[in-house]
Chain A
Amino acid sequence: MSDTHAQTVAFVRHTEIPPAPPPPGQTGAVKWMRENLFSGPFNTIMTLLGVYIVYTLVVGIFPWIANGVWGVDNIRECREITQGNGGACFAVIEQRWQQLLFGFEYPSSEYWRPTFAFVLLFVAVAPVLFLNLPRIMLAFTGIYPFLAYFLIWGGTILIPITALLGFVVGYFAFRRLERNSFAAGLFGAVAAALITWWVTGFLVQAAPNFLALPEVASRNMGGFMLNMILGTVCVSLSLPIGIALALGRQSHMPIIKWICVIFIEFIRGVPLITLLFVANVVLAYFFPPETSLDLILRVIIMITMFSSAYIAEVIRGGLAALPRGQYEAADSLGLDYAQATRLIIMPQALKISIPGIVNVAVGLFKDTTLVSVISMFDLVGMIRGPILSSTDWAGVYWELWAFASVLFFVVCYGISQYSQWLERKLQTGHR
């Protein structure tokens, strides 16, 4: 060490050298490609392989789309035009898109109704999904189910209004009686709502055509609309049931706990399709002899049971993730179980569970295609049933399946992107 200091230095630079430009191989696109595509022999092989896959995909699909035939009436005309040049026959979608979207029995003059309900759905779910929107919009979310029912099923507007009225009356009864005890409030609310429905039922019967839209039976729902209806209705219904089941499973009362555990594990242990078989071929035996619930209702019941078991497990995860201190803090404030759950536990647990719930919802939405197996004409059922067996379009597979895949992809990808966005947002909130 001392040596180096002892020597005198011949030259010392006092100014900084201006930085030289990087070598050409280390900048811009070349550098990016070297680092990202050709960083080693293995990587190079993978890149070439990837390029080849992309090439085959493009070469395979491009002529199919570019030579696609529009505006003919049946597959024979299509075949005449394509003459084996690999073109698709998109005419089937052009001719049948209404059936694919709405089913073949929904009156075509009323298509605006489900479309309008679909658009309003975005307005209704927006305040639930994006917490920074004005809270007043939640009022519309509350009204939406009744509005959607009126739009899609039609009939007199009195039915949804009286149904809404029942809920409103029940709510006020709850607010009044809740001061005594939560249980009294709950039972009072249910009783008040039932009485309201019973009384207003006469009103509905008296004026069945008051402000009525043409009625559409649920049997006539079909196509992608049926998937949407089943998805939204069942997920919405299963939320409260799922919360109840999750709380029940966490409960200290052994009988309640075991009922919930058995229900959840049973439902999660069997495939949805067997539950649909139950809806289709078994459930009818369990209703009173003279009633006949139609198939869509039975399916809604079974899918709701199915999804509520899964949602219960997600919410249970949320409950378990809450720090123990939250429960203890609520207890120490003197809140009883109902108050603590409603005011402290659930809001936090639900917030943590939203991504999980959204995942369940996406999965469930995809699973609604299974109803095609039990002869319901949803999007897949429409394709497998009436369209592919019709004289005009027997033999057009790829176009129809591509159409169905794209529809599902757009919806599911959109929702899962939202879920990922939310997860990121919630994560930063916790760190």
Chain B
Amino acid sequence: MKTSVFIGALTVAGLSAGVAAAGTLDDVKARDMLNCGVTTGVPGFAEPDANGEWQGFDVAVCRAVAAAVLGDSTKVQFVPTTGKTRFTALASGEIDMLARNTTWTFSRDVDLKFEFIGINYYDGQGFMVPSALGVSSAKDLDGATVCIQTGTTTELNLADFFRANNISYEPVPIETGAEAVQQYLAGACDVYTTDASALAAQRANFETPGDHVLLPEIVSKEPLGPLVRHGDNEWGDVVRWTLNALITAEELGVTSENAEELAGGTDNPEVNRLLGTEGTLGEMLGLDAEWAKRAIMTGGNYGEIFSTNIGEETPIGLARGLNAQWTDGGLIYSPPFR
């Protein structure tokens, strides 16, 4: 009876599919919409607010790319993905880029044929325990029950850590962060482990955050970054240099407030190249000259995005740490714009 809905929808899908061209960049431009894969909800990184608007650190990268490519930061279709579905969604072309806390690993880069275009957050897997437990090191956790949020490299790191230290544990794998927290708070596990940033973010929501401590051990390197499909280098370049533009902007002191003003021309040639008043960087990418300026003006430079979404003034309260600019002793470093 409802065949028409199906056929109608098929027609719509067919029409939109009909205009598909070779490269992702052309696809995105033709579609006038960027499909960006995000998580189903990690506070501070990607979650829909009460009005249904996606907010967060990873979301800001998507918006910056949309602003650079399409000139409008609202032209993003956010596609929630789980740990299971994200790679297929990207590989099959359902999304153009994946900006979800995804760890850059060898096998994902090489075997699964994806291209990590950079690192927007240096993370590591940490442990959270109730302070009442009196545990000060993860090595004291022999026999503990550990809640794990599945789907990232968490399970593997955890298994490696406990095997290396020859201590036993009882894994409790949980699909969503919210349910893992629920189990942890109910005392169904002694320890909750996931990326340290997510631990901090979720602890901020607790009734009494002070009753829980993060253990000093960070058991893994978790460089998180956006990724695109292997083999479409033009599109990879666009996303990579949009991220680099945000990072460089912070280094050069270009913010969402002064970008317009600086675009009038400055004495710093790199700022000029970044904002498109000098050179033809945008043209080389297949974009216009002001692509980076729009990206920066969307949510600000890397530092602004960090502080509005997950910085110390927000409930998440993360310090810059490793994610400070290299000039401030961190690891955030962008190749030069020239």
Query: Are B80 and A293 interface neighbours, CB within 8 A?
Result: no
Interface size class of B (residues with CB under 8 A): 35 or more
Provide the bound-state CA to CA distance between A149 and B89, in Å: 26
| Residues of chain B with a CB closer than 8 A to A160's CB | 4, 8
Most buried by A among B42, B48, B88: B48
B8-47 at interface with A (beta carbon < 8 Å):
8-15, 17, 20, 40-43, 47
Query: A96-B50, A219-B79, A386-B48 given as contacts; is B182 within 8 A of A395 (CB)?
Result: yes
Contact of A104 among B5, B9, B52, B77 (CB under 8 A): B52
Provide the bound-state CA to CA distance between A240 and B2, in Å: 11
Provide the bound-state CA to CA distance between A300 and B6, in Å: 9
Q: Which of B59-67, B122-130, B173-181, B301-309 forms part of the interface with chain A?
A: B173-181
**Within the complex, what minimum Cβ distance (angstroms) separates B55 from chain A?**
10
Provide the bound-state CA to CA distance between A284 and B91, in Å: 9
Q: What mask results when residues 414 to 426 of chain A are scored 1 for a CB within 8 Å of chain B, else 0? A: 0000000000000
Contact of A145 among B4, B10, B17, B50 (CB under 8 A): B4
Query: Are A375 and B81 interface neighbours, CB within 8 A?
Result: yes
Interface check A295, CB cutoff 8 A: yes
Query: Are A297 and B10 interface neighbours, CB within 8 A?
Result: yes
| Residues of chain A with a CB closer than 8 A to B185's CB | 395
Provide the bound-state CA to CA distance between A163 and B79, in Å: 29
Interface check A280, CB cutoff 8 A: yes
Interface check A384, CB cutoff 8 A: yes
**Within the complex, what minimum Cβ distance (angstroms) separates A99 from chain B?**
7
Provide the bound-state CA to CA distance between A219 and B16, in Å: 14
| Residues of chain B with a CB closer than 8 A to A167's CB | 3-4
**Within the complex, what minimum Cβ distance (angstroms) separates A184 from chain B?**
22
Chain A interface, number of residues (Cβ within 8 angstroms): 66
A337-377 at interface with B (beta carbon < 8 Å):
373-377
Q: Which of A1-9, A23-31, A231-239, A324-332 forms part of the interface with chain B?
A: A231-239
Contact of A290 among B17, B40, B51, B205 (CB under 8 A): B17
A186-244 at interface with B (beta carbon < 8 Å):
197, 201, 205, 217-219, 232-233, 236-237, 239-240
Query: Are B9 and A297 interface neighbours, CB within 8 A?
Result: yes
Query: Are A148 and B80 interface neighbours, CB within 8 A?
Result: no
A271-310 at interface with B (beta carbon < 8 Å):
277, 280-282, 284-285, 289-295, 297, 300
Provide the bound-state CA to CA distance between A240 and B9, in Å: 19
Query: Are A280 and B6 interface neighbours, CB within 8 A?
Result: no
The prevalent SS among residues of A at the interface is helix
Contact of A159 among B3, B11, B43, B52 (CB under 8 A): B11
Interface check B331, CB cutoff 8 A: no
Q: Total A-B pairs in contact (CB under 8 Å)?
A: 158
| Residues of chain B with a CB closer than 8 A to A219's CB | 77, 79
| Residues of chain B with a CB closer than 8 A to A96's CB | 50
Q: Which residue of B lies closest to A293 (CB)?
A: B13
Query: Are B41 and A385 interface neighbours, CB within 8 A?
Result: yes
Interface check B84, CB cutoff 8 A: yes
Query: Are B2 and A236 interface neighbours, CB within 8 A?
Result: yes
A378-406 at interface with B (beta carbon < 8 Å):
381, 384-386, 388-392, 394-395, 397
Provide the bound-state CA to CA distance between A201 and B4, in Å: 14
B205-239 at interface with A (beta carbon < 8 Å):
205, 207
| Residues of chain B with a CB closer than 8 A to A34's CB | none
Provide the bound-state CA to CA distance between A71 and B158, in Å: 43
Contact of A280 among B7, B41, B77, B88 (CB under 8 A): B88
| Residues of chain B with a CB closer than 8 A to A56's CB | none
| Residues of chain A with a CB closer than 8 A to B42's CB | 389
**Within the complex, what minimum Cβ distance (angstroms) separates A135 from chain B?**
16
Interface check B94, CB cutoff 8 A: yes
**Within the complex, what minimum Cβ distance (angstroms) separates A382 from chain B?**
10
**Within the complex, what minimum Cβ distance (angstroms) separates A276 from chain B?**
10
Contact of B1 among A105, A236, A385 (CB under 8 A): A236
Provide the bound-state CA to CA distance between A205 and B315, in Å: 49
| Residues of chain B with a CB closer than 8 A to A237's CB | 2-3, 6
Query: Are A391 and B43 interface neighbours, CB within 8 A?
Result: yes
Interface check A164, CB cutoff 8 A: yes
Q: What mask results when residues 138 to 177 of chain A are scored 1 for a CB within 8 Å of chain B, else 0? A: 0001101110110001010001100110010000000000
Query: Are B13 and A385 interface neighbours, CB within 8 A?
Result: no
Query: Are A284 and B176 interface neighbours, CB within 8 A?
Result: no
Provide the bound-state CA to CA distance between A285 and B90, in Å: 11
Interface check A113, CB cutoff 8 A: no
Interface check A95, CB cutoff 8 A: yes
Q: Which 6 A-B pairs have the closest CB atoms?
A: A284-B92, A104-B52, A389-B41, A388-B178, A281-B88, A291-B17
What are 21 A-B contacts defined by CB distance under 8 Å? A142-B1, A145-B2, A149-B8, A153-B5, A159-B8, A237-B3, A240-B3, A284-B89, A284-B94, A292-B20, A294-B94, A297-B13, A373-B175, A374-B85, A381-B40, A386-B41, A388-B176, A389-B47, A389-B177, A395-B205, A395-B207
